[in-house]
Amino acid sequence: MTITNLFDLTGKVALVTGARRGLGQALALTLADAGADIIGLGPNAMDETGAGVTARGRAFAEITADLSDSQDFEALVAKAVAAHGHIDILVNNAGIVRRADILDFPESDWDDVMQVNLKSAFFLSKAVARHMIDGGIAGRIVNIASILSFQGGVRVPSYTASKHGIVGLTRLLANDLAPHGVTVNAIAPGYMDTDNTEALRNDPDRMRQLIERIPLGRFGNSDELATAMLFLAAPASTYVTGSVVTVDGGWTAR
């Protein structure tokens, strides 16, 4: 197999949650660059992402669903399959963060974050896995974890708990789905230039502390995460499952 074929997704269909902008949009466009048709799932219109996918010569479909609410995930997967015929790749990217001192942290913020970041990721994975198994698809599931999957962080208790959970869920799903030829892996981004880090980037003192702690001396960008995701979604990673790839500028190595 040539290097080109190892990363060729022609004929594949990828379902990407939270694909409207930021990391999710970069992930969707990278998959389209590799030849995959894209289904975006989220609460708002994804016109920019759709335009980017079609400009690359790939098909785009959009499913409107707010993962902060309970969903019929089997029905959502049925809609996705109706749009493009099958799902070969699932990228669980959707995520939110809530910040507050732990003594003031509200229960609603705990529930909201866990619903989007962990509960929805599991039940969507379950529904997609059923589709893959029933269709004999050697699929790929890629979850977006975090460096806070391995550390505590500060002022983000529900986010930290959810991202620890994502790593455990990734390993559990990898074990259960391996006999069916479905691989499950995760990417753990460090501090990236996204909406979720806007509050940090607007705090000069905190920003200085973070930059000093990152060996590469900067925040990462969406494209640097997307290339790692492509490896885990592509034929190149057929013997990789249950793994967590850190993309963090060396943060966890220090």
159 is catalytic: yes
Q: Which residue(s) pair with 141 in the sheet? A: 90, 184
Chain-centre distance of CA 94, in angstroms?
A: 6
Nearest to 28 by CA among 159, 182, 148, 144: 144
Angle CA 233–73–129, to nearest 5: 40
From the number of C-beta atoms within 10 Å of its C-beta (0-12, 13-18, 19+), residue 163 rates as buried
Catalytic pick among 73, 159, 219, 251:
159
SS3 (DSSP) at 128: helix
Task: For residues 191 and 210, give the distance between their C-alpha atoms in angstroms, rounded to a whole number.
Answer: 8
Task: For residues 91 and 16, give the distance between their C-alpha atoms in angstroms, rounded to a whole number.
Answer: 5
**Which residues carry out catalysis?**
159
